[in-house]
Amino acid sequence: MSRVLITGGAGFVGRPLVQILCDNGFEVTATGRQPSVTGLPAGINYYQVTSLGPDTDWQNVLTGIDCVIHLAARVHVMTETETDAKTAFHKTNVDGTKKLALDAAKTGVKRLIFLSSVKVNGEHTDAKPFTEDDKAHPQDDYALSKYNAEQALLEIAHDTGLEVVIIRPPLVYGANVKGNFKSLISLTKRSWPLPLAGLKNARSLVFVGNLCDAIKACIKHPAAANQTFLVSDDHDLSTTELIEHLAHALSCPSHLFKLPVLFLYIVASLFGQKSRAQRILGSLQINSGKIHKLLGWTPPYNVVQGMQLSVTADLNAEQQIPKKTDTGKP
pTM of the entire predicted model: 0.92
In a domain, 286, yes or no: no
In a domain, 181, yes or no: no
Q: What is the extent of the structural domain holding 148?
A: 3-176+206-233
In a domain, 137, yes or no: yes
In a domain, 108, yes or no: yes
> Average pLDDT for residues 105-121, to the nearest whole number?
97
Report phi then psi at 61, rounded to 5.
Answer: -70, -30
In a domain, 317, yes or no: no
Strand-pairing partners, residue 173, are 207
Active-site residue identified among 47, 142, 173, 301: 142
In a domain, 77, yes or no: yes
Per-residue model confidence (pLDDT) at position 79: 55
Residue by residue, what is the 3-state secondary structure of 58-113?
A: CHHHHCCCCEEEECCCCCCCCCCCCCCHHHHHHHHHHHHHHHHHHHHHHHCCCEEE
In a domain, 164, yes or no: yes
Q: Please state, rounded to an integer, the average pLDDT across all residues of the chain.
A: 91
- First CA to last CA across the chain, in angstroms? 62
Per-residue pLDDT reduced to its tens digit, 61-88: 999 999 999 999 998 665 556 678 899 9
Per-residue pLDDT reduced to its tens digit, 24-56: 999 999 999 998 888 889 889 999 998 899 999
Per-residue pLDDT reduced to its tens digit, 136-173: 999 999 999 999 999 999 999 999 999 999 999 999 99
CATH number at residue 149: 3.40.50.720
Per-residue pLDDT reduced to its tens digit, 238-268: 999 999 999 999 999 999 999 999 999 999 9
In a domain, 264, yes or no: no
Q: Is the pLDDT of residue 14 over 70?
A: yes
Reported as type and span, the H/E element at residue 23 is helix 14-23
Q: Which among 301, 305, 135, 146 is positioned nearest to 232, based on CA atoms?
A: 301
Residue 142 is a catalytic residue = yes
Number of domains in the chain: 1
